[in-house]
Chains A and B, each alone.
Chain A
Amino acid sequence: AQTVTQSQPEMSVQEAETVTLSCTYDTSENNYYLFWYKQPPSRQMILVIRQEAYKQQNATENRFSVNFQKAAKSFSLKISDSQLGDTAMYFCAFMKLFQGAQKLVFGQGTRLTINP
């Protein structure tokens, strides 16, 4: 079974700083997807960024980028020029394609606080 581990339960940085959230996963699959989701307090979970395992190039989305190390099974999220609105729970997630199902397996989450 796939597992996803986020080793940082909480992080706190000052506004405009850069922060990196860690994620490791365990799988024997070769083709899969990895995601970072953001869940602001009492609000909807939204997709931040996606990475296909067959792509060597790291995904980027404006201030958000990932460092995908397939051999090390590591998938960290870097947030540049952090903003107050980035305060949220961040979940790393693994998706395996299996017989039509697209089940997401989530990590434990990292609570990120951006301080003014």
Chain B
Amino acid sequence: EADIYQTPRYLVIGTGKKITLECSQTMGHDKMYWYQQDPGMELHLIHYSYGVNSTEKGDLSSESTVSRIRTEHFPLTLESARPSHTSQYLCASSESPGGYTFGSGTRLTVV
């Protein structure tokens, strides 16, 4: 079944650790996105990609980085996690302007 997968679902990690949030989709979509969803539930675009080897910064500044080496894979990395990075991170993909398909999200807590 075509879908988009995010791992881990929940992550609690100490300050200063390096982390990678995984996102994979099986639909062959060229465009992929990372959104940060704060405790107030509002979503902000932090990264997006048009396709392989393409990455762009989103509307909200983020200390995270992304890579797009394969069409299906769009991981997000934090080199040194801080408590201010505590949030929910949603990955999505799209093909046509029909809308996005979202993953289930990763809820990150940095202690």
Which listed residue, B40, B98, B102, touches A108 by the CB 8 Å rule? Answer: B40
Among residues of A, the one whose C-beta sits closest to the C-beta of B3 is A44
Query: CA separation between A107 and B105, bound complex, in Å?
Result: 18
Find chain A residues with CB under 8 A from B45 CB: 103-105
Among residues of A, the one whose C-beta sits closest to the C-beta of B42 is A108
Query: CA separation between A33 and B100, bound complex, in Å?
Result: 12
Q: Decide yes or no whether B12 CB sits under 8 A from chain A.
A: no
User: What band does the interface of chain A fall in when counting residues whose beta carbon is under 8 Å from B?
Assistant: 20 to 34
Among residues of A, the one whose C-beta sits closest to the C-beta of B9 is A42
Which listed residue, A33, A43, A95, A109, touches B42 by the CB 8 Å rule? Answer: A109
| B5 to A: closest C-beta gap in Å | 11
Within 8 A of A (CB), among B24-71: 31, 33, 35, 40-43, 45, 48, 50, 56, 58-59
B50–A44 CB distance below 8 A: no
Among residues of A, the one whose C-beta sits closest to the C-beta of B100 is A104
A47–B100 CB distance below 8 A: yes
Query: CA separation between A3 and B48, bound complex, in Å?
Result: 19
Residue-by-residue, is B85-111 near A (CB-CB < 8 Å gives 1, otherwise 0)?
000001010100111101111000000
Q: Which applies to chain B's interface (DSSP): helix, strand, loop or mixed?
A: loop
Within 8 A of B (CB), among A3-51: 33, 35, 37, 39, 43-47, 50
Among residues of A, the one whose C-beta sits closest to the C-beta of B96 is A102
User: Interface size on B (CB < 8 Å)?
Assistant: 24
Which listed residue, A43, A101, A108, touches B31 by the CB 8 Å rule? Answer: A101
B interface residues (Cβ-Cβ under 8 A, vs A): 31, 33, 35, 40-43, 45, 48, 50, 56, 58-59, 90, 92, 94, 97-100, 102-105
Q: Decide yes or no whether A97 CB sits under 8 A from chain B.
A: yes
Query: CA separation between A35 and B43, bound complex, in Å?
Result: 14
A101–B50 CB distance below 8 A: yes
Find chain B residues with CB under 8 A from A77 CB: none
Given contacts A43-B104, A111-B41, 18 further A-B contacts (CB under 8 A): A33-B97, A37-B99, A39-B41, A44-B102, A44-B103, A44-B104, A45-B92, A45-B102, A47-B100, A50-B98, A95-B99, A100-B50, A101-B56, A102-B31, A102-B94, A103-B33, A104-B45, A104-B100
